Amino acid sequence: MNAFPSAPQLPTLQPLRIGNVPIDFPIVQAALSGYSDLPMRLLARRHGAGYAICEVMLDQFLLAVKKRQKTKHFLTIHPDEAPVGGQLMGAEPEQFAAGALRLVEAGFDVIDINFGCPVKKVLGRCRGGFHLSQPAVAIEIIRRTRDMVPDHIPVTVKMRRGIDDTQQSRDQFFEILDGGFDAGIAAVTVHGRTVEQRYIGPSRWEFLREVKQHIGPDRVVLGSGDLFRAEDCLRMIAETGIDGVTVARGAIGNPWIFAQARALAEGRPLPPPPTLHQQADVMRQHFDLCEQTYGEDRAPLLMRKFCIKYTASHPRMDEVRSSFTRMRSREAFDAALAQHYTEDAPGQYPPREVHRTQSEG
Cα separation, 266 vs 48, in Å, equals 13
Tally of CA atoms within 13 A in the half-sphere of 186 that contains its CB: 22
Q: CA dist 185 to 95, 127, 195, 214, 277, Å?
A: 19, 19, 22, 16, 43
Cα 41 to chain centroid distance, Å, stands at 9
Cα separation, 147 vs 316, in Å, equals 52
* Residue 54 appears among annotated catalytic residues: no
Cα separation, 102 vs 123, in Å, equals 23
β-pairing verdict for 27-29 and 244-247: parallel
Coil, strand, or helix at residue 37?
A: coil
Residue tagged active-site, from 54, 117, 233, 290:
117
Cα separation, 248 vs 269, in Å, equals 23
- 256 near 27, Cβ under 8 Å? no
Closest to 89 measured CA to CA, from 99, 79, 80: 99
Length of the chain, in residues: 361
Coil, strand, or helix at residue 72?
A: helix
Closest to 153 measured CA to CA, from 189, 190, 103: 103
Closest to 191 measured CA to CA, from 179, 182, 175, 202: 202
Strands (E), the chain: 16-18, 21-23, 27-29, 52-53, 57-58, 84-89, 110-115, 155-160, 187-191, 220-224, 244-247
Which residues are catalytically annotated? 117
